[in-house]
A and B are shown apart, each in its own frame.
Chain A
Amino acid sequence: MPTRQAAVVGVAESDEIGVVPNKSTLQLQGEAVLNALDDAGLALRDVDGLFTAGFRTTEVAEYLGIHPRYYDGTHVGGSSFVVHLGHAAAAIASGRIEVALIVHGESGRSRVGLPASASSAQGMEGQFENPYGMPGAPGAYSMACARHMHQYGTTDRQLAEIAVAARQWARLNPRAFKRDPLTIEEVLASPYVSWPFRKLDCCLVTDAAGAVVVTSVERARDLKKAPVRVLGWGEGHDHQIISQMPDVTSGPGRISGPDAFAMAGVKHADVDVAEVYDSFTYTVLTSLEDLGFCRKGEGGDFVSGGRIAPGGDFPLNTSGGGLSYTHPGMFGIFTIIECIRQLRGDFRGQGLRQVADAKIGLVHGTGGKLSATGTAILAAD
């Protein structure tokens, strides 16, 4: 039983997102941090916990000019930031820190100031996957999807429903990268990237950063915006490289999801809005199954018929997601940002952009090659 409950009190993107060739990766992160702290009514000097992935915590702290007494560089790909949210809430609950800052951003499209990344020929991926021309994430997720289609009869039309719903949400979001109308037929007519994935099954590549500020519920009550409580969280770990994934149709959401629901003490039917990392259309489908919103193999039916689109009865990825809103490299932080905004009612008066009466939200990140997940359940105060 936590001694103090944590709440998210500030969220923001960098000043600009999309194509931002004149700004470096760390500059984008710096902007997002200042914007999120401003959203909360806090300052950098208030931050005593720093959470980041893919960058050294010392590198980010140095750039920001802060000296955190608690830091966490857990790097499980795009799910890292949802995992960080749980870790931050635990550190706050224990009284170890007062204000946690979670930040991530990349000049993913323009590639200004990215950290060096080289995979070793002697690592397991270097020895046992790269020699075969395995195209990274699109290859790994498409392999999992092909097996799901074979085993459960999932169709490319069902995947296209996810891309179309994301675009419909993006059309309501002025900051979204892709806002042109999109039909299922257009998704199915886009060229193959790695069968069974087509171009429009795959996320965007943009320049963007995001930051999230977390503190105790008590401290939150004195701040600028309505706090959003962190009710529960979970994390799951499965494998690193896709050839080691025990059952490619079932990801570690089957671990992180139940843990988050049990800790939060809420049921699936209580969730008003869900932000589920959509690196690929299929990622959403399998995540919803793993999380228990439907049975394994039934994700295709679940997402069909406009259920996850604006006006549908399961509002999902309401920013437009990684498929249509933004995706700099690791999207997880943006699932939190959007969920908080929905639960605070930031879009009130903007029609379908605001999910009506959103009280409970779920965020779910998937990282690596379906390798790790983080799930968190959030509640309007």
Chain B
Amino acid sequence: MTEYTKPLPKADPVTAPFWESLKREKIEVQRCDDCEAHIFYPRALCPHCSSRRLKWTPVSGRGRIYTLTIVHKAPGPAFKADAPYVVALVELDEGCRMMTNIVDAPADPDHVRIGMPVEIVYHHVTDDVTLPKFRPVVRAEA
């Protein structure tokens, strides 16, 4: 296996449960006990209502593309071979948004569109880090 040279996230005490959940292939985010919002990225307080009562909660891993860009000029050598590739903001069905890559689809605005339903794929990029990527939801029956 070749060495992974792309930037890796370094968890902090508040965000660690998110990264740990991905390693188990179960995505969890915080949910506010007071205003009931799912929040992302993880915090010590709810950015909507300032409550400290946040609870780690499994979410579906499904959502829709809120917006995207197709990167032709990569930010550095580690991503160069991947270009063009899709960086997107995905809005989870539970309401919070996260950045990700859209995979298993052509990096083409005719194939990857705003509003498109997507689902999580777990990319175990190193022994310690699993990144949440998303792919278009394909209907089972032809």
A and B: bona fide binding partners: yes
Least CB distance, B77 to chain A, in whole angstroms: 11
**Residues of B84-102 contacting chain A, CB below 8 A:** 84-85, 87-89, 97-101
Q: Write out the residue numbers on chain A whose beta carbons fall within 8 Å of the beta carbon of B122.
A: none
Tell whether B109 is near chain A: CB-to-CB under 8 Å: yes
Q: Write out the residue numbers on chain A whose beta carbons fall within 8 Å of the beta carbon of B99.
A: 128-129, 132, 134, 242-243
Least CB distance, A143 to chain B, in whole angstroms: 5
Tell me if B7 and A194 are in contact (CB < 8 A): no
| Contact indicator per residue, chain A 218-244, by CB within 8 Å of chain B (1) or not (0) | 000000000000000000000000111
Tell me if A146 and B69 are in contact (CB < 8 A): yes
**Main secondary structure on chain A at its contact with chain B?**
helix
Closest 5 CB pairs of A and B: A195-B70, A147-B67, A127-B9, A133-B79, A121-B10
Please, how many angstroms separate the alpha-carbon atoms of A243 and B88 in the complex? 9
Tell me if B97 and A243 are in contact (CB < 8 A): yes
* Closest chain B residue to A151, Cβ basis: B114
Tell me if A126 and B70 are in contact (CB < 8 A): no
Tell me if A143 and B67 are in contact (CB < 8 A): yes
Known A-B contacts A126-B7, A243-B98; the reply to A135 vs B67 at CB < 8 A is no
Q: What are 20 pairs between A and B in contact, CB < 8 Å?
A: A126-B10, A127-B9, A128-B41, A128-B99, A131-B129, A132-B87, A135-B69, A135-B75, A142-B69, A146-B68, A147-B67, A150-B67, A150-B114, A193-B72, A193-B73, A194-B70, A194-B72, A195-B84, A242-B89, A243-B97
Tell me if B12 and A122 are in contact (CB < 8 A): yes
Tell me if A139 and B71 are in contact (CB < 8 A): yes
Tell me if A133 and B71 are in contact (CB < 8 A): yes
Please, how many angstroms separate the alpha-carbon atoms of A133 and B115 in the complex? 22
Least CB distance, A82 to chain B, in whole angstroms: 27
* Closest chain B residue to A139, Cβ basis: B69
Q: Write out the residue numbers on chain B whose beta carbons fall within 8 Å of the beta carbon of A195.
A: 69-72, 84, 109
Known A-B contacts A147-B67, A150-B67; the reply to A133 vs B131 at CB < 8 A is no
Tell whether A200 is near chain B: CB-to-CB under 8 Å: no
Please, how many angstroms separate the alpha-carbon atoms of A136 and B69 in the complex? 12
Tell me if B10 and A143 are in contact (CB < 8 A): no
Chain A interface size, under 10 / 10 to 19 / 20 to 34 / 35 or more: 20 to 34
Chain B interface size, under 10 / 10 to 19 / 20 to 34 / 35 or more: 35 or more
Q: Which residues of B contact A (CB under 8 A)?
A: 6-12, 15, 41, 66-75, 78-79, 82, 84-85, 87-89, 97-101, 109, 114-115, 129, 131
Q: Write out the residue numbers on chain A whose beta carbons fall within 8 Å of the beta carbon of B97.
A: 243
* Closest chain B residue to A195, Cβ basis: B70
**Residues of A122-168 contacting chain B, CB below 8 A:** 122, 124, 126-136, 138-139, 142-144, 146-147, 150
Tell me if A133 and B82 are in contact (CB < 8 A): yes
Tell me if A128 and B68 are in contact (CB < 8 A): no
Least CB distance, A280 to chain B, in whole angstroms: 12
Out of A126, A194, A196, which one reaches B9, CB within 8 Å?
A126
Q: Write out the residue numbers on chain B whose beta carbons fall within 8 Å of the beta carbon of A194.
A: 69-73
Tell me if B98 and A128 are in contact (CB < 8 A): yes
Tell whether A2 is near chain B: CB-to-CB under 8 Å: no
Known A-B contacts A129-B99, A131-B6, A150-B67; the reply to A243 vs B89 at CB < 8 A is yes
* Closest chain A residue to B89, Cβ basis: A243
Tell whether A212 is near chain B: CB-to-CB under 8 Å: no
Please, how many angstroms separate the alpha-carbon atoms of A127 and B101 in the complex? 14
Tell whether A191 is near chain B: CB-to-CB under 8 Å: yes
* Closest chain B residue to A129, Cβ basis: B99
Known A-B contacts A133-B75, A150-B114; the reply to A192 vs B70 at CB < 8 A is yes
Chain B CB within 10 Å — which of A133, A194, A196 has the most? Answer: A133
Least CB distance, A199 to chain B, in whole angstroms: 9
Least CB distance, A368 to chain B, in whole angstroms: 15
Please, how many angstroms separate the alpha-carbon atoms of A126 and B41 in the complex? 12
Least CB distance, B72 to chain A, in whole angstroms: 4
Least CB distance, A188 to chain B, in whole angstroms: 15
Q: Write out the residue numbers on chain B whose beta carbons fall within 8 Å of the beta carbon of A131.
A: 6-9, 129, 131
Tell whether A103 is near chain B: CB-to-CB under 8 Å: no
**Residues of A20-66 contacting chain B, CB below 8 A:** none
Least CB distance, B58 to chain A, in whole angstroms: 19
Please, how many angstroms separate the alpha-carbon atoms of A1 and B123 in the complex? 58
Least CB distance, A127 to chain B, in whole angstroms: 4
Out of A128, A129, A135, which one reaches B73, CB within 8 Å?
A135
Please, how many angstroms separate the alpha-carbon atoms of A120 and B11 in the complex? 11
* Closest chain B residue to A141, Cβ basis: B69
Tell whether A248 is near chain B: CB-to-CB under 8 Å: yes
Q: Write out the residue numbers on chain A whose beta carbons fall within 8 Å of the beta carbon of B85.
A: 133
